[in-house]
């Protein structure tokens, strides 16, 4: 194998405040011509290059964390100059409580060789069950020629594991920068969930709702002054989120975005076209379109309520989670 590559989506904000997903190619090429990829750097089309050492460490920590590792922890490990740091980490992985929990093993007993291999190869890496790596390492473990730490590191540095996990590793993200929902109500709805960003700040549900409304209504991140003005009105009880949505709909900025026939009024169809195309970023499904149009035409819902429903939907909350978690403001990036 001489090269693997993938297309990755990186979050960026344009100078005019529009959040975009920018596509880049990423690749690892066998520059050593030894048929192995673990000792080669990762390169990205945006000019970023990560050394083989960085990628080796990231792959192992990605496995240990069950996802992107914390930035501070990664940098600390990277600065560890002991030559056996990867071996020590692999050994620690086989006895860590989180590994036992992920596998569902009894902490009072050593993890079974087959359970460890199946978790790494099938559950985490998603390799086919007929991969020769399973039998290769099981035979070595049973023979006693290698221990479980050897197996972990050997698999993580194999071409098969590197290829299978490349789509995720190529993004090189860290949990310190990755936002997540905290659904305190445990109701499966995300509009009323706060947003946590790594081990750092927590955005209240109210802050996240208002930020999402800017993204959905105006197709941009908010400016600080306007955001704080609306947030203050919401916190004081003077305005609720539907009031804010109504203010946006009647604004010149949003009207210009929606009023495609330029007659000075926003028709229900123009609103729905905007919401499906901007908020959900997809073509409308006919059943959904018909239902929302009926709600609007019957007066069961007004345009502000429909805007708010789209902007606070689970679908939009999930797709904008990282942008909301960045909590950037237009006037601060210019």
Burial profile 224-243: b = 16 or more Cβ within 10 angstroms, e = fewer: eeebeebbebbeeeebebee
* Spatial CB neighbours of 129, under 8 Å, sequence gap ≥ 6: 122
Average pLDDT over residues 233-242: 96
- Count the residues in the chain: 334
More confident of the two residues 174 and 24: 24
Share of the chain above pLDDT 90, in %: 63
**Residue-level pLDDT at 80:** 85
Task: Please write the tens of the pLDDT for every residue from 319-329.
Answer: 888 889 888 88
Whole-number mean pLDDT of the chain? 89
DSSP assigned state of 284: P
Higher pLDDT: 333 or 155? It is: 155
Determine the pLDDT at residue 177: 62
Helix axes 286-298, 303-311, angle to 10 degrees: 140
Continuous H helices in the chain: 52-65, 71-78, 85-93, 97-103, 113-118, 132-143, 148-156, 159-164, 166-169, 205-218, 224-236, 241-249, 252-258, 268-274, 286-298, 303-311, 314-319, 321-326, 330-333
Strands 42-44, 19-29: pairing is antiparallel
Whole-structure pTM value: 0.61
Q: What is the pLDDT of residues 50-95, one digit of tens each?
A: 899 999 999 999 898 888 887 778 888 888 888 899 999 999 999 9
- The residue ranking higher by pLDDT, 76 or 211, is 211
Please check the confidence at residue 235 and state whether its pLDDT lies above 70: yes
- Dihedral (Cα; 27, 134, 83, 33), 10-degree rounding: -40
HEC states along 189-257?
CCCCCEEEECCCCEECHHHHHHHHHHHHHHCCCCCHHHHHHHHHHHHHCCCCHHHHHHHHHCCHHHHHH
What digits encode the pLDDT tens for the residues 106-116? 988 999 999 99
pLDDT of residue 9: 74
Most trustworthy range by pLDDT among 2-11, 270-279, 316-325: 270-279
The residue written with tokens 């090429």 in the block is 29
Assess contact for 270 and 307: CB atoms under 8 A. Answer: no
Indicate whether 200 pLDDT > 70.
no
Please check whether residue 168 is in contact with residue 55, taking contact to mean a CB–CB distance below 8 angstroms.
no
What is the structure's pLDDT at 18?
A: 72
38 vs 179, more confident: 38
Backbone angles phi, psi at 269, to 5 degrees: -65, -35
199 pLDDT band, cuts 50/70/90, is low
Model pLDDT, residue 197:
77
Is the pLDDT reported for residue 287 higher than 70?
A: yes
Q: Per residue in 250-265, pLDDT tens?
A: 999 999 999 998 888 8
pLDDT greater at residue 237 or residue 17: 237
Residue 334 pLDDT > 50, yes or no? Answer: no
Cβ proximity of 39 and 30 under 8 Å:
no
The pLDDT value given to residue 43: 92
pLDDT at 333: 47
The answer to whether the CB of 107 falls within 8 A of the CB of 87 is no
């Amino acid at each position: 194998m001489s090269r693997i590559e993938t297309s990755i989506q990186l979050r960026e904000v344009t100078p005019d405040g529009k959040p975009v997903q920018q596509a880049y190619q990423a690749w690892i090429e066998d520059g050593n011509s030894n048929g192995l990829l673990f000792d080669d750097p990762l390169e990205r089309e945006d000019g970023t290059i990560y050394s083989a050492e960085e990628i080796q460490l990231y792959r192992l920590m990605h496995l240990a964390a069950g996802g992107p590792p914390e930035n501070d922890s990664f940098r600390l490990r990277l600065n560890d100059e002991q030559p056996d740091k990867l071996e020590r980490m692999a050994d620690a992985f086989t006895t860590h409580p989180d590994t036992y929990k992920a596998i569902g093993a009894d902490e009072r007993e050593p993890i079974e060789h087959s359970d460890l291999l199946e978790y790494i190869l099938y559950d985490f890496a998603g390799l086919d069950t007929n991969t020769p790596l399973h039998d290769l390492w099981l035979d070595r473990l049973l023979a006693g020629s290698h221990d479980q730490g050897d197996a972990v590191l050997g698999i993580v540095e194999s071409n098969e594991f590197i290829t299978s996990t490349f789509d995720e590793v190529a993004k090189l993200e860290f949990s310190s920068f990755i936002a997540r929902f905290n659904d305190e109500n445990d109701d499966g709805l995300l509009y009323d969930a706060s947003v946590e960003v790594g081990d750092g700040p927590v955005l209240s549900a109210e802050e996240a709702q208002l930020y999402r409304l800017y993204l959905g209504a105006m197709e941009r991140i908010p400016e600080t002054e306007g955001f704080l003005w609306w947030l203050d009105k919401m916190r004081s009880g003077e305005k609720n989120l539907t009031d804010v949505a109504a203010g946006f709909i009647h604004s010149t900025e949003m009207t210009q975005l929606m009023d495609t026939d330029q007659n000075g009024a926003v028709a229900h169809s123009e609103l729905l076209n905007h919401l499906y195309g901007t908020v959900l970023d997809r073509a409308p499904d006919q059943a959904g379109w018909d239902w929302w149009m009926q709600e609007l035409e019957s007066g069961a819902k007004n345009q502000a309520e429909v805007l708010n429903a789209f902007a606070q939907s689970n679908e939009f909350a999930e797709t904008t989670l990282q942008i909301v978690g960045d909590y950037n403001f237009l006037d601060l990036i210019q």
